[in-house]
Amino acid sequence: MWNWFHKLASPPHFYRIASAFEPWLLWLAIACMLTGAYGGLVLAPADHVQGDGFRIIYVHVPAAFLSMFSYALMAVASGIGLIWRMKLAFSVAAATAPVGAAFTFLALVTGAIWGQPMWGSYWEWDPRLTSELILLFLFLGYIFLRQALAETRQADRASGILALVGVVNLPIIHYSVEWWNSIHQGPSLIKLEAPSITTDMLWPLLAMIIGYQLLFLAILMTSVRTQVLQREQNARWITEQLGTENIHG
Amino acid sequence: MNEFLDMGGYAKYVWSTYSISLIVLTLTVVLCKRTLTNTRKRVLRRQASLKESQT
């Protein structure tokens, strides 16, 4: 087990595994998302209160979930990189940031468009909305900090510390609807009791979340390879790897 | 069909969120793939020029 983990953490090995898995993850993600969208737009019944407007949930909740998942992954990877000085961990953290920012942007925009008919306003300085906006700024801050620092090791360390400090925002986002008077509705899925949503409405949502998660992994497989190439451009295995890739097309 | 597209009066909200999501996710995938391709080309060029300078 340890041996397997050790091997996976080596950049050449990870690079090859990522190349092999990426297309599968991408196609599985597309299949899940198409199924989820069909279930959510066509098969699920309209909501009692929100009518067909509730169908926005199928693009809003997965984006919001992935925005927090990406940040958690970025922080854990940064932590591993800082403690064990593992280059691949920093590659994963750096590759996650732009994707995480995209998901956070989507969560905010789809939420705003949903808020207009339901709350009568695109934006409110509400705890849930504000903390999610701070998450976007954390991702952007991480990206700009890396770009500002030319030396990779320095960029890794500084951005890694920023990612770790920003982790306090995650529980704030999650519990904001319980701690404060929020206009945002409470959780329907992630809580101790059974989900408060019928099966017809639930399965498309789960399909969408799995689809978004797979898409995230597919993008990560591409972006981590970019990071590895940038960091190891002088390594001999890169020459050999790119040589074989060129032969195979 | 029209009833489906109308989304019970929520058409502009539902379809705009789905289109924006599709556009942003597609762009993310395409841009990440393009960055990888460009980086690969750059590294290959760099290594080719290094080899040349050695011989």
DSSP per-residue codes, A78-123? HHHHHHH--HHHHHHHHHHHHHHHHHHHHHHHHHHHHHHHHHS-S-
**Cross-chain Cβ contact A52/B44 below 8 Å:** no
Cα A75 → chain centroid: 12
Domain contains B16: no
With respect to residue A207, please indicate whether it lies within any of the assigned structural domains.
Answer: yes
Q: Where are the alpha helices (DSSP H) in A126-235?
A: 127-148, 152-165, 169-179, 199-231
Q: Which amino acid is at A230?
A: Q
With respect to residue B13, please indicate whether it lies within any of the assigned structural domains: no
In a domain, B55, yes or no: yes
Per cent of chain B over pLDDT 70 is 98
* B45: in domain: yes
pLDDT value for A246: 64
Which residue range(s) make up the domain with A132?
A: 24-247
Residue B15 lies inside a defined structural domain of this protein: no
The domain containing residue B37 runs over which residues?
21-55
Residue A42 in domain: yes
ipTM attached to this prediction: 0.92
Residue A196 lies in a domain: yes
B49 in a domain, yes or no? yes
What does pLDDT average to in each consecutive run of 10 residues of chain A (249 residues)? 72 90 97 96 88 92 96 96 92 96 97 90 89 96 95 94 95 87 75 69 94 98 95 84 68
Q: Say whether B24 and A225 touch across the interface (CB within 8 A).
A: no
Q: What's the pTM value of the predicted model, to 2 decimals?
A: 0.92
- How far is A1 from chain B, CA to nearest CA, in Å? 31
Residue whose entry in the numeric block shows the structure tokens 């800082």: A82
pLDDT of residue B52: 81
What pLDDT score was predicted for residue A247? Answer: 56
CA distances from A118 to A31, A127, A225 (A): 31, 17, 42
Domain-located, residue A158: yes
Q: Which chain B positions have a beta carbon within 8 Å of A117's beta carbon?
A: 10, 13
**Whole-angstrom Cα distance, residue A65 to residue A59?**
10
Note whether residue B8 is domain-resident: no
Which amino acid is present at A49? V
Q: How confident is the model at residue A137, as a pLDDT?
A: 97
Structural domains in chain A (count): 1
Q: How many domains does the structure of chain B reveal?
A: 1
Residues of A with CB under 8 A from a CB of B: 26, 37, 41-42, 46, 51-53, 55-56, 59-60, 63, 98-99, 102, 105-106, 109-110, 113-114, 116-117, 215, 218-219, 222-223, 225-226, 229-230, 233, 238-239, 242, 245-246
More confident residue, B5 or B17: B17
pLDDT at position A95 = 97
Q: Which of B14, B17, B39 sits opposite A229 (nearest CB)?
A: B39
Instruction: CATH number of the domain at A242, please.
Output: 1.20.120
Q: Give the minimum alpha-carbon distance from B2 to chain A in angstroms, rounded to a whole number.
A: 13
* In-domain check, residue B47: yes
Average pLDDT of chain B is 90
In chain B, pLDDT over 90 holds for what percent of residues? 56
In a domain, A13, yes or no: no
